[in-house]
Structure 1
């Protein structure tokens, strides 16, 4: 079936709508991460990316300097407007900056519980030496773990962050008797957890997928290249895209890790700071 374009007599075939991913996150003007990068990743993987702004970063290629949070009401209005208009096959939650924002996203995920949510845990917290800001960061961390984590179908997190949070008491054990921080996340309500850069028993590093009934799968972890942006957000967005396209959790994880590895292998340095993954260079 075609439609008249108004240019000559040519008819254009209407293409089927691609799978849609709705990403919650900040605007990163450098394009290293956040919503601009998420949209590019979705496009590279054959999906259409929708964006719900959680904050605005001041950032260049060296990293973030500051973040301005959006109100939870604005976050909710953005998301509800999109969800009432278009069918969404997957959510991705990146950085949020207030407990109220985490609560709003958790409520949206609960209202659309049939839509898988990929949570990038650990995104968005800026280093601070101010006691009041540190307390606010702890409250935000607590809200994400208590409200958002149980709504996520899979959580993507760096192993070193989980270990640090466990040591600092930011990852509550609850009734868990596990030593593995990823299993503690499962015991705290997570469904699936993908930990990046976890030490393997035989040496080296692996990316470990842990799921219900202690299901596991692992893949080799490429050693981190010097002066390269963190790729956990890239992996989480790619995972959301593959889930949106109908892949099961294990296959979506494997494909997302492969995509992130190839994008990183073709990384480039656009400024004086860190290298960035080349999202359209990967074979998909």
Structure 2
């Protein structure tokens, strides 16, 4: 018997591939929407058989999104453009694509939507705003790229649909969601695969209402972004990038999270990428 159906957009993408085996639960069905088929389900490490439904479609196709939302309890919106690109591409896939997701949710009666935003929506914010290591998740937007600008539009659309239509929207300003921390910046901003799943589970389970913003990071020793907003929805990360510190320092040198602009700005080196050029 199906007790919960979760629609994941971008179901064939890197993050969804990390997430899928970690969301397997008895009675839960993952409906995966993407323009390409997802890889075979990764091993779960247990005996539970994955329950997945594959839907071919784009987040920019409103009719397809409405159909994909049929009988869905919640949406995890991971689809879109994940890198810096030309303005038409990032706005079509991220801004308009998110509109289609939210509008489809409204039409289909789906109340809970989790939106994948990005640290690059606030990329030019700096550590000077968080001397005690607690930069708020809802720090005002300061995008570092056209991609970051498109994620500000994602967040604003989520706020609109929460305020006007009563959807419960949680925006995740994701740090670096990778199997291991990618470079020194990851010592502060890493989101481990297991903590990523814990974060999504908290978003699906919380009883809070309205619009919320949460940093998507692990419990990293060198973090300077707040975990308070995540804890408010039941997200308690367990992993720490410090496990990889010795290896990263040996490879890249001792990090300076105060004086190095790559490390003391939210968006890091993306702040220096020419607009429209892929990093």
| TM-score (ref. length: structure 1) | 0.41
Q: Larger % of strand: which?
A: 1
Rg larger in structure: 1
